[in-house]
Amino acid sequence: MSESNMIEDLATFLEQLVAVDRFSGTVLVAKNATPLFKQAYGLASKVYNVANGIDTRFNLASMNKMFTGVAITQLAEQGSLSFSDSIGQYLPEYPKAVAEKVTIHHLLTHTSGMGSYWNNRFDATWARLRTVQDFLSLFIDEPLAFEPGERWQYSNAGFSVLGAIIEQVSQQSYFDYVREHIYRPAHMVNTDAYEMDNPPPNIAIGYTRAGLAEETEPGFRRNNLFLHVVKGGPAGGGFSTVEDLLNFSIALQEHRLLTAEYTNIVLTGKVNLPEPQKIPTSYAYGFFDEMINGHRVVGHSGGAPGINSRFQMYMDLGYTIVVLSNYDPPAATQVTDWLAERLTQI
């Protein structure tokens, strides 16, 4: 299969998905930093009938963990912290039973024993959660589910703690740090964590069928404004565009955010995910490291009601794939899975 044939088939595939209302969002395919395909589909706002565009900002969900991983690794490269340091060395207010056991490496690799913050406290206060400290208050007194390093368990709480460490070490807010040290040098001009009760222009509203009865009209979706955080943070919930995320890929691979040595550290898998996995998968420092049809693919995905995103760098083939959707999963992953079957045949 040639690249041109693959791109033609991709356009047809996406049109078919849109025709049956299975996709809304933006898709970008690039080879060696040059876009081969970029297109927008569907509506950013169903209420106002506003179409998605290439520059529309979509919620990333957990994809923000990549930025947090890079930020921590930058501080390690500078000698401001070490991956083996404990939480307690930077957050003296954190309960010692956890702070003395859990290291930055544990947090980065989801092996800390921490869980998430989707609990009763979150349900009661979600509209007021806007700072890293706000999120920490949801779980700071919770015990660990297992001894650090014992196994892998995905943890939003752990990445919130990383955000607090970034703030302590850099003496900046998490949001200011990533703007200055990641978004700006990578030329990511439409990426940030926005307050959704006062959003900027050109935001895609998420639409979900979560919680709707089976007999609800097939094309009907409700917005997700009351189903997600008001403002994202170190664990997820920020916004970006496909073009900004291509710029992030370029900046990483050109070593403009980290040296070659530390880029390799942040992207290389450290802990294998538990079985069963469809493909061999390990977790690096805020990135998944996968083998897809014999090719190494590094990136991250995100999913929540009305949100599905995926960012992939085919390290040996030179492709960067970014798919952002304001529909439920698997809106984006069905596209990247389709691409995976074809990119490896070119």
- pLDDT (tens digit, 9 = 90+) per residue, 206-261? 999 988 877 677 779 999 988 888 899 999 999 999 999 999 999 999 999 999 99
The enclosing domain of 52 has a CATH number of 3.40.710.10
| Residue 172 and residue 211 in one domain | no
pLDDT of 303 reads 97
Packing angle between helix 260-267 and helix 242-253, nearest 10 degrees?
A: 120
Predicted pLDDT of residue 278: 87
pTM for the whole structure:
0.96
User: What is the count of structural domains for the chain?
Assistant: 2
Final residue belonging to a domain, choices 179, 213, 242: 179
Greatest CA span in the chain, whole angstroms? Answer: 58
Residues 143 and 153 in one domain: yes
Q: For residues 292 and 315, state if they share a domain.
A: yes
Q: What is the CA radius of gyration of the chain?
A: 20
Q: Which of 127, 156, 179 is where one domain is finished?
A: 179
pLDDT at 86: 98
Q: Do 8 and 76 lie in a common domain?
A: no
Same domain, 171 and 185: no
204 and 222 belong to one structural domain:
yes
Q: What is the pLDDT of residue 87?
A: 98
| 59 and 92 co-located in one domain | no
Q: What is the pLDDT of residue 226?
A: 87
Which residues in the chain show pLDDT less than 70? 215
Q: Identify the CA nearest to 318 among candidates 342, 343, 301, 300.
A: 343
Residues 191 and 163 in one domain: no
- Three-state secondary-structure class, residue 228: coil
Q: Do 228 and 302 fall into the same domain?
A: yes
d(CA 228, CA 194): 12
Residues 135 and 234 in one domain: no
DSSP state of 233: B
Question: Amino acid identity, residue 45?
Answer: S
306 Ramachandran zone, left/alpha/beta (phi>0; psi -120 to 50): left
The pLDDT of residue 216: 78
Which one of 122, 149, 179 terminates a domain?
Answer: 179
Domain encompassing residue 99: 67-179
Residues 184 and 327 placed together within one structural domain of the fold: yes
174 with 71, same domain?
Answer: yes
**Quick one: tokens of 291?**
């083998």
